[in-house]
């Protein structure tokens, strides 16, 4: 276009620039489908990402609901059981040793006093 304006007398495309308009229209005609294809690909990726996010959020919601139900059961449970918690594993071994030591100290203190 600049060359056409500079070369006024020998311009290959006169003022209405019909050839330039044709070239730009052809470029736009080729670009439009390419842009639409890339948008469709991006849309497919976004759709998959949204579906994955939905599944993760749904799973989290179900886990949270389950935790709420468990907390409600724990809070509503009657407080009848006032006994100390049971020991598991090797706890019995330590209890019997503690009882023996207690008896030993009680006997020692009663015999001394």
Full DSSP string of 12-36: SS-TT-HHHHHHHHHHHHHHHHHHH
In the prediction, which pLDDT does 16 show?
A: 82
Q: Are 2 and 20 in contact (CB under 8 A)?
A: no
pTM, entire model: 0.44
How many domains is the chain built from?
1
Instruction: Tell me: pLDDT of 88 over 70.
Output: no
What is the extent of the structural domain holding 57?
17-75+91-111
In the prediction, which pLDDT does 30 show?
A: 96
Task: List, for residues 17-72, the tens digit of each pLDDT value.
Answer: 899 899 999 999 999 999 999 999 999 999 999 999 999 999 999 999 999 999 99
Domain assignment present for 2: no
Instruction: Tell me: pLDDT of 98 over 90.
Output: no
Please tell me which residue, 87 or 77, carries the higher pLDDT value: 77
Domain assignment present for 69: yes
């Amino acid at each position: 276009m600049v060359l056409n304006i500079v070369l006024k007398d020998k311009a290959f495309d006169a003022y209405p620039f019909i050839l330039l308009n044709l070239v730009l229209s052809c470029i736009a005609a080729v670009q439009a489908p390419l842009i639409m294809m890339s948008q469709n690909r991006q849309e497919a990726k976004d759709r998959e990402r949204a579906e994955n996010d939905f599944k993760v959020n749904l799973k989290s919601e179900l886990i949270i609901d389950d935790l709420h139900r468990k907390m409600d059961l724990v809070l509503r449970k009657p407080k009848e059981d006032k006994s100390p918690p049971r020991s598991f594993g090797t706890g019995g071994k330590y209890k019997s040793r503690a009882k023996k030591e207690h008896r030993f100290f009680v006997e020692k203190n009663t015999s001394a006093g």
